[in-house]
């Protein structure tokens, strides 16, 4: 074996931790190498010094005192005041009742706020407000639209609407032309002389049996027109 290999085994050789075969190999090398022999002598002296300075033996009373000192140190570390204790130590008396009341008030306020928000969210889901100005804007109808637009009652009863239109048409035709020009498939003309000698009574029956048009005209004018 060379020196590097023996130097690795010298600490074990000094402590008697090698097997017999390795011990013989190291001893043969130490006989021929002075440097390795000096290292082995240094390790042997260190081992003797360690054995001479053995640990002292303590009695039971010493171990008991040591154990009590350790427990006392642990208790002091566990009971060390924290940040909250330091804040409360600033006041001469701890305001525990006031802090408890304040905590209860804050808790009630938080619960009320949560309930209020949940109720408003439910109402907003049920009610939808449309704020489009184009939808909410109400246009005023013009006079011509009001005249042309049929009334609601007319939309409900189309027969009465037609009858009233025929009635208006017949009145306009009577006012602008002779009564003989006003004819219709659904109207009946009845001419009767009144008790007066100067007036001629003309009745127009519209499609509605409850609506009848009566028109009085001078008798002489009608006779001249017939000639």
116-129 confidence digits (pLDDT tens): 888 776 666 555 44
Lowest-confidence segment of 28-37, 137-146, 217-226 by average pLDDT: 137-146
**94: alpha, beta or left, given left = phi > 0 and alpha = psi -120 to 50?**
beta
**What's the rounded Cα separation, in Å, for the pair 167 and 154?**
14
- CA nearest 213: which of 170, 178, 172, 176? 170
Residue 3 has pLDDT above 50, yes or no: yes
Report residue 8's pLDDT band, with 50, 70 and 90 as the boundaries. Answer: confident
Residue 77 inside a domain? The answer is: no
Residue 93 inside a domain? The answer is: no
Q: Which residues have a Cβ under 8 Å from the Cβ of 186 and sit 6 or more positions away?
A: 166, 206, 207
Give the sign of the dihedral formed by CA 106, CA 110, CA 115, CA 121. Answer: positive
What is residue 55's three-state secondary structure?
Answer: coil
What is residue 197's three-state secondary structure?
Answer: coil
Residue 202 inside a domain? The answer is: yes
Q: How many domains does the chain have?
A: 2
144-160 confidence digits (pLDDT tens): 554 455 555 445 555 66
Residue 60 inside a domain? The answer is: no
Compare 97 and 91 and report the one with higher pLDDT: 97
Location of structure tokens 């035709």: 173
pTM over 0.75: no
**200 is written with which tokens?**
């001629």
Report residue 183's pLDDT band, with 50, 70 and 90 as the boundaries. Answer: very low
Domain extent at residue 31: 3-49
Residue 137 inside a domain? The answer is: no
Residue 201 inside a domain? The answer is: yes
What pLDDT does residue 106 have?
92
**Domain end: 49, 66, 82, which one?**
49
**What's the rounded Cα separation, in Å, for the pair 211 and 180?**
20
Report residue 132's pLDDT band, with 50, 70 and 90 as the boundaries. Answer: very low
Count of CB atoms situated within 10 Å of the CB of 9:
19
Location of structure tokens 């028109």: 215
Terminal Cα distance for the chain, rounded: 168
- CA nearest 203: which of 219, 220, 223, 182? 182
Residue 92 inside a domain? The answer is: no
Q: What is the DSSP letter of 181?
A: G
* Greatest mean pLDDT range, 20-29, 128-137, 146-155, 205-214: 20-29
**118 is written with which tokens?**
């949940």
CA-to-CA separations, 35 to 16, 24, 31, 106, 137, in angstroms, rounded: 20, 18, 10, 84, 113
27-63 confidence digits (pLDDT tens): 888 888 888 888 888 888 887 887 776 666 778 888 8
**How many CA atoms, within 13 angstroms, populate the side-chain half-sphere of residue 39?**
17
Report residue 108's pLDDT band, with 50, 70 and 90 as the boundaries. Answer: very high
pLDDT averaged over every residue in the chain: 70
Residue 172 inside a domain? The answer is: yes
């Amino acid at each position: 074996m060379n020196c590097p290999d023996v130097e690795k085994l010298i600490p074990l050789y000094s402590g008697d931790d090698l097997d017999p075969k390795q011990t013989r190999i190291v001893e043969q090398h130490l006989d021929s190498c002075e440097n390795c022999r000096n290292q082995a002598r240094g390790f042997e002296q260190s081992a003797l010094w360690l054995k001479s300075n053995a640990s002292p033996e303590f009695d039971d009373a010493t171990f008991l005192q040591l154990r009590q000192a350790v427990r006392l140190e642990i208790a002091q570390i566990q009971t060390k005041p924290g940040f909250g204790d330091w804040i409360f130590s600033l006041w001469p008396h701890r305001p525990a009742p006031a802090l408890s009341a304040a905590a209860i008030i804050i808790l009630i306020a938080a619960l009320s706020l949560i309930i209020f928000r949940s109720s408003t969210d439910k109402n907003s889901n049920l009610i939808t407000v449309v704020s489009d100005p184009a939808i909410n804007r109400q246009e005023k109808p013009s006079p011509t639209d009001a005249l042309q637009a049929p009334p609601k009652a007319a939309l409900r009863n189309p027969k009465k609407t037609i009858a009233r239109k025929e009635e208006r048409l017949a009145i306009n035709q009577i006012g602008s032309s002779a009564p003989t020009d006003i004819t219709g498939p659904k109207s009946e003309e009845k001419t009767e002389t009144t008790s007066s000698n100067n007036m001629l009574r003309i009745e127009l029956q519209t499609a509605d049996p409850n609506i009848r048009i009566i028109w009085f005209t001078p008798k002489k004018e009608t006779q001249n027109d017939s000639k």
